Amino acid sequence: HQELERMRRALQHGELRLFYQPKVNMRTGEVIGVEALIRWQHPEQGILAPAEFLPLVEQSSLIVDIGEWVLHEALAQLAEWSQQGHELSVSVNIATRHFQHIDFVARLQAILAEYPGVAPGRLELEILESVALEDVEAMRAVIAACQAMGVRFALDDFGTGYSSLNYLKQLPAETLKVDRSFVRDMLDDQEDLAIIEGVIGLASVFGKEVIAEGVETPEHGVMLMRIGCDHAQGYAIARPMPADSMHDWLKGFE
């Protein structure tokens, strides 16, 4: 496939970039971490968003190579930020096909070993709720093996994946990431607000953290804090930015 060949070359030629978006505790003002978000610095078309190239890549094993590049890049960046005095954690999105790769755990362990200065607890993997629901036993074993190394998990786009409430009881992730579709309409739509409140209530019973994504205005932030969701990510706080902008942003946010 010609498009895939182009992507492989983009990876080899160093055209992929990670942007980072801060996640904050709105109540304490603390930066709890950053989410790594891939971009393609295309030689002619400029910066391309993942929607423009990832869906194709996800249909091939190239997603494993790109996913491993993302892990390396994010961990190297954490090490660099450490040297600048910023002890951050990073969340990395893991494609389903990558996560289901037979060698996922061993290769993750090998990658982490290359960054001895970065504690595994500072890496969070974002997987889709639907992944954790697929082949539950096998996925739970993979998640548990990663957690045994210290790596944390967040269920991304939470609320869109049809988890049964019973399933929530054994959900292996530390964090639930409320899908931005609920957050977007929560100020006008009582039902979306109720869904977020429900997730927060369940999370607290099960000892899980909740973060709201897609927090676009201060009003959203105020309402989220009112209903007990202190962790937020979204344009109201910061847009995804290149790594070298993070130092200045952190200084300004303090």
User: Which residues contribute to the site for ligand G (CB under 6 A)?
Assistant: 21, 36-38, 49-51, 54, 67, 70, 93-95, 156-157, 180, 213-216, 234-235, 240
Q: Is residue 192 a contact point for Na ion (CB under 5 A)?
A: no
Of 103 and 134, the one with the shorter C-beta distance to Mn ion is: 134
User: By rule CB under 5 A, what count of residues binds Mn ion?
Assistant: 3
Which sign does the torsion angle of CA 125, 75, 41, 252 carry? positive
Residue nearest to ligand G (CB): 234
Q: Is residue 156 a contact point for Na ion (CB under 5 A)?
A: yes
Taking the chain, what is the end-to-end CA distance rounded to the nearest angstrom? 48
> CB 211 → Na ion: shortest distance, Å?
10
> CB 69 → ligand G: shortest distance, Å?
9
Q: Is residue 124 a contact point for Na ion (CB under 5 A)?
A: no
Name the segment binding Mn ion (CB under 5 A); options: 74-82, 97-105, 118-126, 130-138: 118-126
Of 77 and 175, the one with the shorter C-beta distance to Na ion is: 175
**In this structure, are residues 126 and 152 in contact, taking their beta carbons and an 8 Å threshold?**
no
Distances (CA, A) of 175 to 44, 126, 168, 178, 200: 39, 9, 12, 10, 11
What are the contacts of 61-66 at 24+ separation with CB within 8 A?
A: 61/97, 62/4, 62/7, 62/8, 62/11, 63/95, 63/97, 63/98, 64/97, 64/98, 64/101, 65/8, 65/11, 66/7, 66/11, 66/16, 66/38
In the region spanning residues 81 to 110, those forming contacts with Mn ion, defined by CB under 5 A, are 93
Contact partner at residue 21 from Mn ion, Na ion, ligand G, none, CB < 5 to 8 Å by partner kind: ligand G
Interface residue with Mn ion, options 73, 124, 156, 230 (CB under 5 A): 156
Q: Is residue 179 a contact point for Mn ion (CB under 5 A)?
A: no
Please tell me the distance from the alpha carbon of residue 151 to that of residue 130, in angstroms, as a whole number: 20
Structure tokens at 70: 């993302």
Contacts to Na ion by CB under 5 A: 156-157
